[in-house]
């Protein structure tokens, strides 16, 4: 148990709680064209900035523990950083280092995966890889997949099958073939390269589909999505094609305007038979390193008592995840790389200090404002002091309901602020990220303006209760909705002249606004920029909230944004 935080003798107290508002996927755009945040009528947000100290925070790259500043931030690492107050090396960096040093291939999990194929007794023992098929570096990276295939071949594995989940979300919305063609060339080279250890090596793509249509659901929002993936990868029952390329091209012709994340499921067949269903005695690696979209398919493979859908034939396989996706539940049982060991999070310190907390979002981001915010920890630190509230998300395309559940989230927070039950409230509005990923510009503007209405309601409640509101974001997205030429900055356009949509996160900074209507002078609190510490990352949110609660942050936390 941690020691409690020490009180700040300079703090004079407030009547109401500290309210941390995380506007998921809302940043400051680099380009005027395509910045749906700036293009929206955000009257409340602009009003708060006009009368409050505010600054910009880094929310990507090294500032959130990713390998380089070319790596976009994401909700997982963003909430980790905000919740733990420090920067830890994250999944992408850990996996890359493990591969570079060879530690992955010396580990017990990899050895079990390989030895199972040699000793498991399967008819055609096969090593299967399932995961997000891009170099977006948010959930996975193709370089990791290639390295594992190369190593498997070196160690004498004879047969590999890859089950691809097309991206179109963390990378270009219709970039599937840009990844598929060079990867097919890589497999061809591996298959044909002659050596005594690789005689008869056979690596092929076996099945696939879009990440938002099969396999990669999260938070139990859409189990039928996982079921479609299970039937596709395991049973090979999806629509048959001669190749993955044929599947992509066919679906694009049949469904005009479809983007990669929504591509329907397919199975590659030869002589009328699937080339790679998963059979008894095989080994399976789920090569995503990020946990939220890995837990459900992992449960389908690992759980003996599983009731989410009828799995039919459940093959007896040696299954491993790229990382441990849930440290408390120890899921999966076998993993290739250990996740960051995040400790002493803000939530744990607040519980040790007796601070009463509410965490709330809708299903799509509930796990982020709880599990990831708490350092990849399931459950509460103190059941008596913490309440976690999940508002059930709609199961339909987000562009059809761009306001999502921001009003329902706000309803609950409006009741909580004056209740006297909580000292600290944290909430996540998912609109900017989830609608931003659709690439539908009009829907994103609608989502921003709907969220701004809710910020207005929150502002009134904060003023009435004498509370403090900290407004920020975990990364950018809606601020960068068009593809731009990196050299000229010009908008990239489709043949019809319309802008090419960008569905991935941005590299842009995010807001931090401190609205403290009853400030008593404990820190500079003038309107506009210049009154806060500059050049910081979102990991400084933790120390900031701790100070605004009237306590002294841990010495090794990144410094607070307030002076």
Query: Active-site positions?
Result: 75
H/E element, 130: strand 127-133
Instruction: Give the 3-state DSSP-derived string for 48-83, with helices as H, strands as E and coil as C.
Output: HHHHCEEEEEECCHHHHCCCCCCCCCCHHHHHHHHH
Q: Are 22 and 429 in contact (CB under 8 A)?
A: yes
Q: Are 207 and 232 in contact (CB under 8 A)?
A: yes
Distances 32 to 29, 71, 77, 500, 501 between C-alpha atoms, Å: 7, 22, 27, 15, 14
Distances 92 to 64, 71, 73, 338 between C-alpha atoms, Å: 11, 10, 11, 12
Distances 40 to 280, 443, 450 between C-alpha atoms, Å: 54, 11, 10
DSSP one-letter string for 443-500: HHHHHHHHHHHHHHHHHHHHHHHT-EEEEE-SSBSTT--B-B-TTT-PBPB-TTSPBP
* Secondary structure class of 220 (helix, strand, coil): coil
**Residues whose CB falls within 8 Å of the CB of residue 265, separated by 6 or more in sequence, listed in order:** 207, 208, 209, 213, 214, 228, 229, 231, 232, 238, 239
**Residues whose CB falls within 8 Å of the CB of residue 542, separated by 6 or more in sequence, listed in order:** 82, 83, 84, 85, 345, 346, 553, 557, 558
| Angstrom distance (rounded) from CA 543 to CA 534 | 14
Distances 68 to 2, 29, 93, 139, 484 between C-alpha atoms, Å: 33, 20, 9, 15, 21
Minimal CA–CA distance to 471: which of 55, 145, 35? Answer: 55
Length of the chain: 563
Q: What are the backbone dihedrals phi and psi of residue 161, each rounded to the nearest 5 degrees, phi first?
A: -130, 135
Q: Are 160 and 203 in contact (CB under 8 A)?
A: yes
């Amino acid at each position: 148990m941690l020691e409690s935080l020490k009180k700040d003798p300079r703090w004079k107290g407030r009547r109401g709680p500290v309210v941390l508002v995380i506007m998921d996927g809302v940043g400051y755009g680099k380009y005027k064209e395509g910045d749906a945040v700036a293009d929206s009528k955000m009257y409340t947000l602009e009003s708060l900035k006009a009368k409050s100290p505010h600054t910009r925070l880094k929310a990507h790259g090294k500032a959130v523990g990713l390998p380089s500043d070319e790596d976009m931030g994401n909700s997982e690492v963003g909430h980790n950083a905000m919740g733990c107050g420090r920067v830890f090396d994250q999944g992408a960096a850990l996996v890359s280092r493990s591969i570079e040093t060879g530690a992955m291939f010396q580990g017990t999990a990899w050895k079990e995966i390989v030895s199972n194929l040699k000793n498991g007794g399967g008819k055609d023992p096969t090593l299967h890889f399932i995961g997000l098929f891009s170099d977006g570096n948010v959930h996975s990276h193709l370089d990791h997949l290639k390295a594992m295939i190369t190593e498997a071949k070196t160690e004498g594995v004879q047969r590999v099958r890859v089950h691809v989940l097309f991206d179109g979300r963390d990378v270009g919305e219709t970039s599937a073939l840009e990844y598929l063609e060079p990867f097919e060339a890589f497999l061809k080279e591996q298959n044909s390269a002659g050596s005594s250890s690789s005689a008869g090596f056979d690596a092929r793509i076996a099945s696939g589909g879009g990440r938002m249509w099969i396999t990669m659901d999260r938070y139990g929002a859409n189990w039928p999505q996982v079921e479609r993936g299970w039937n596709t990868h395991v049973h090979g029952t999806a629509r048959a094609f001669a190749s993955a390329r044929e599947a992509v091209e066919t679906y694009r012709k049949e469904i005009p305007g479809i983007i990669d994340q929504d591509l329907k499921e397919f199975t590659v067949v030869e002589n009328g038979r699937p080339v790679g269903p998963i059979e008894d005695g095989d080994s399976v690696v789920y090569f995503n390193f990020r946990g939220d979209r890995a837990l459900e398919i992992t449960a389908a493979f690992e759980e003996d008592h599983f009731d989410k859908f009828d799995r039919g034939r459940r093959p007896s396989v040696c299954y491993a995840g790229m990382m441990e996706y849930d440290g408390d539940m120890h899921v999966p049982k076998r993993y290739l790389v250990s996740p960051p060991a995040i400790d002493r999070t803000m939530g744990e310190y607040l519980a040790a200090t007796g601070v009463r907390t509410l965490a709330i979002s809708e299903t799509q981001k509930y796990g982020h404002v709880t599990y990831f915010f708490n350092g990849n920890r399931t459950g509460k630190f103190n059941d008596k002091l913490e309440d976690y509230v999940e508002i059930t998300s709609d199961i339909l395309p987000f562009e059809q309901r761009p306001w999502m559940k921001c009003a329902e989230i706000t309803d609950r927070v409006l009741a909580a602020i004056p209740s006297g039950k909580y000292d600290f409230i944290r909430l996540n509005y998912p609109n900017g990220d989830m609608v931003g990923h659709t690439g539908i510009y009009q829907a994103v503007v609608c989502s921003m303006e709907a969220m701004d209405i809710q910020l207005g309601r929150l502002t009134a409640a904060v003023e009435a209760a004498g509370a403090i509101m900290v407004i920020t974001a975990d990364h950018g997205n809606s601020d960068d909705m068009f593809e731009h030429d990196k050299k000229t900055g010009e908008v990239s356009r489709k043949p019809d002249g319309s802008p090419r949509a960008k569905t991935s996160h941005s590299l842009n900074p995010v807001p931090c606004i401190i609205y403290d209507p009853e400030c008593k002078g404990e820190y500079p609190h003038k309107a506009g920029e210049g009154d806060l510490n500059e050049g910081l990352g979102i990991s400084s949110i933790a120390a900031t909230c701790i100070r605004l609660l009237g306590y002294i942050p841990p010495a090794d936390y990144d410094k607070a944004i307030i002076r």
